[in-house]
Structure 1
């Protein structure tokens, strides 16, 4: 996924009130909108290089969006609003091998009162529901981790995938890792034990789990390769 316009560079100062980040551009401090609602642990360091997109819209209070940051080893994609698009592009480009062979792809597919991120299908009897999660947390051993905060919404999504699976529908939990300084993936048990327990349950019931890592630059982010799960 290429960025539509060139990104603007600055130096990260701080994040506050969850959705705001102060980023220094030259002698000016600009406030950038931060779409990521997680804790963003291991993602933010004062003085790290940050990249922002600019949006000159009269309806926007904040003209800049916080897109990525560099810790000296890797760019880290922190704009979670891009994650579904990255997954869809990777499916359409054949990168995610396990999700090939479907004629139709529908984003934000409605099931009851909720929605699943992606529906792949050939017919009403041959469907695959895919829920997508963004991953930016890592540990000291090079494992990408999820979640980075307690996620009731994520827990709810696992339950929905499990119910579909019990109805005989193929279901997949897809984790998209937006950093390159990790070599494998595992569930963060200490932060959210309930999510970890539920994920193990749905795996045992046949829900598939896939983890794919992105390659990142200020010009584009692409889903690059599969990561192992430990």
Structure 2
């Protein structure tokens, strides 16, 4: 995923009320940008970080700018926009980036299985399916919480995330293939694990999903001020 037009560079003044960030641009102008991330964003929103904003030409938008990237004091890039995670996975599916999904022939976004109550990020179809039309389901989570080289999810309590895990588990137990993909948008992260210390209920739901046969994996991204590309799997520690 390439940023076009190019992002605007600035310095983060503060993030507040979850959805707002004040940024000083390189020319000294101070703007308020939309923050497309409802999480705690621990370690991602430190005042003084270099940040990168996209600019909208839509006159109906309340805020002209969207906060896309942050760069830590030691140079690591973070994808702030959680909505980009699904775009990155879709692009990776199309380009056969991950070997675990290299035989996907078709996918559809935002699908509710006939026997489920939750909508999942992707429905996938593989070319090696024994019967035409067999579908599997994938849920994607964006990981940005880093502690040294370890990534953790979630960064805040997520009842919705726990519900999704249990739904995936139920589908898996009924014979439907399912997967949970942690999309890592932080270049310092080298492995991923569930943040049981933040949300023990979610951690338990992930364990139930794994026991039921849900495929769990994590994937990292190449990030710079021009692009984000999902590129390879990372170790996932349960």
TM above 0.5: yes
Select the residue among 118, 125, 135 that pairs with 1:121: 125
Note the alpha carbon deviations across 1:168-224, whole angstroms, 9 max, x for none. 110000000001112111111110000001101110110010100001011110002
State the distance in 2 between where 1:85 and 1:124 align: 26
- The two structures have a TM-score, normalised by structure 1, of 0.96
CA distance in 2, matches of 1:69, 1:38: 15
- 1:40 corresponds to: 41
Please name the residue that 1:17 is paired with.
Answer: 17
Structure 1 gaps of 5+ residues are none
Match of residue 216 from structure 1: 223
Contact 2:109-2:121 at 8 Å conserved across structures: yes
Which of the residues 152, 155, 165 maps onto 1:158? 165
- Runs of 4 or more, structure 1, over 6 Å off, are none
**Would you say 1:2 and 2:2 are equivalent positions?**
yes
State the superposition RMSD in angstroms. 1.3
1: CA distance, partners of 2:167 / 2:88: 22
- Structure 2 unaligned residues grouped into runs of 5+: none
2:147 corresponding residue in structure 1: 139
Counterpart CA distance in 1 for 2:132 and 2:9 is 47
**What is the CA-CA distance between 1:124 and the residue it aligns to?**
6.1
Q: TM-score, normalised by structure 2?
A: 0.93
Question: Residue 93 of structure 2 contacts residue 104 of structure 2 at CA under 8 Å; is this kept in 1?
Answer: no
Q: How far, CA to CA, are the matches of 1:124 and 1:157 in structure 2?
A: 26
